[in-house]
Amino acid sequence: MINARLKKSYPGAKDSRAFTLDVAFEAAKGVTVLFGPSGSGKTLTLDCIAGFVRPTDGRILLDDALLYDGPTGVHLPPQARRCGYVFQNYALFPHMTLRENLEFAVTRGGNVERHKRVSEMLDRFQLGDVAGRAPHELSGGQKQRGSIARALLADPKLLLLDEPAQGLDAVLRQELYSVLRGVQDNFARPILLVTHDVEEAIELGDRMHVFRDGRIVQSGAPRDVFDAPASPDIARQLGIYNLIEAEIVALDPGRNTSRLRVGDFEIAGTYYPGHLKGDRVTLCAHPTQVSVTARNGSPRANQIAMELEHVVEGAQRARLLFEGGFRAEIARAEWEAIERAEHFAIEIQPSSLRLLKG
């Protein structure tokens, strides 16, 4: 178990603004995702836990070991923390072969035992054939797997992964995900994974914390967070929702319904407790929850007229971009049935419209 309460402040300089990291969280075995945009404090959190950055205040406890404590001045050096760190740039020593890089991490046992452990790890990560190569002779995927293998050979109590799939193409990314799932299954200790990639968070995470401006603004299982963002800002940060500004024009709690004005159009919604007629609200809808129809003239009831700007056709689905950045994702067969139309309308089922707070 890692229990971290961190505060780290940087005063603003001439060409930069002040920044304060102020977060608190726990993580047990499994993958805990630290999700957010660049500059939100994710990597700084890892650096504080690993001991590369000294916090301004707080406390870091790994199992029964106190790594940092502000009030008492405890600040263990990185080599004493039992944290395996996989950096964005892999950080393999350029003057060593891959095998030598891995051997460097094994500090216990004799030469025979060390050689055996390294060979087993090379085989496990499918790196035996390239063990004698220097880092510059390896592919991005091989470097990343080698970096993870080296971190595990040090027998860490905690594994820290900073954007592990950055720079990898789609095929290598999936290979890396497979490797990390294997690590997750066999490494019965906490793993902290920094990412700003939605797919990666859902694919690998057991729990996630959403970072924004040095704070954790939402926590939960990745799917729960993505299905129910806590605010418009978080929905924008996740980047997977259409945000809809609306006015409530009618509410019927008995029927669990409402009427919403969106621009010049009215659509159906559910009943929104705590709100009154005339309230302005922000709703969100996932692109896969949007229906698209061809229209001639005015749209029908519960539809919103929109001008189509761009289409990306995939093998199974079509992604449609409308005016104002509104997006829909529909089956390719549905798109082919309406693609010759000049004008379109979108429709969203009331149950698919999620009310956002704030």
Q: Parallel, antiparallel, or unpaired: how do β-strands 30-35 and 207-212 relate?
A: parallel
Structural domains in the chain plus CATH codes? 2-237 (3.40.50.300), 241-356 (2.40.50.100)
Residue 279 has a pLDDT of 95
Residue 180 has a pLDDT of 86
Residues whose CB is less than 8 angstroms from the CB of residue 205 and which lie 6 or more positions away in sequence, other chains included: 31, 32, 33, 193, 221, 222
Cα 335 from Cα 58, distance rounded (Å): 54
CB 82 within 8 A of CB 62: yes
pLDDT of the chain, 358 residues: tens digit per residue: 899 999 999 886 666 678 899 999 999 989 999 999 888 999 999 999 999 999 999 999 999 899 999 999 999 999 999 998 988 777 888 888 988 888 887 876 667 778 888 888 888 888 888 988 898 888 888 888 888 888 888 888 999 999 888 877 888 888 888 888 888 888 888 999 999 888 889 889 999 999 999 999 999 999 999 888 888 888 888 887 899 999 999 999 999 999 999 999 999 999 999 999 999 999 999 999 999 999 988 888 899 999 999 999 988 999 999 998 999 999 999 999 999 999 999 999 999 998 987 6
Q: How many CB atoms lie within 10 A of CB 108?
A: 9
Name the maximum alpha-carbon separation found in the chain: 81
Structure tokens at 40: 């939100």
Residue 60 has a pLDDT of 97
Q: Could you read off the pLDDT of 288-342 as tens digits, one per residue?
A: 999 999 998 888 889 999 999 999 998 899 999 999 899 999 999 999 999 999 9
Stated pTM of the model: 0.82
Cα 297 from Cα 135, distance rounded (Å): 63
Helix 111-124 and helix 140-153, axial crossing angle in degrees, nearest 10: 140
Q: Could you read off the pLDDT of 120-159 as tens digits, one per residue?
A: 888 888 888 898 889 888 888 888 888 888 888 888 899 9
Residue 131 has a pLDDT of 86
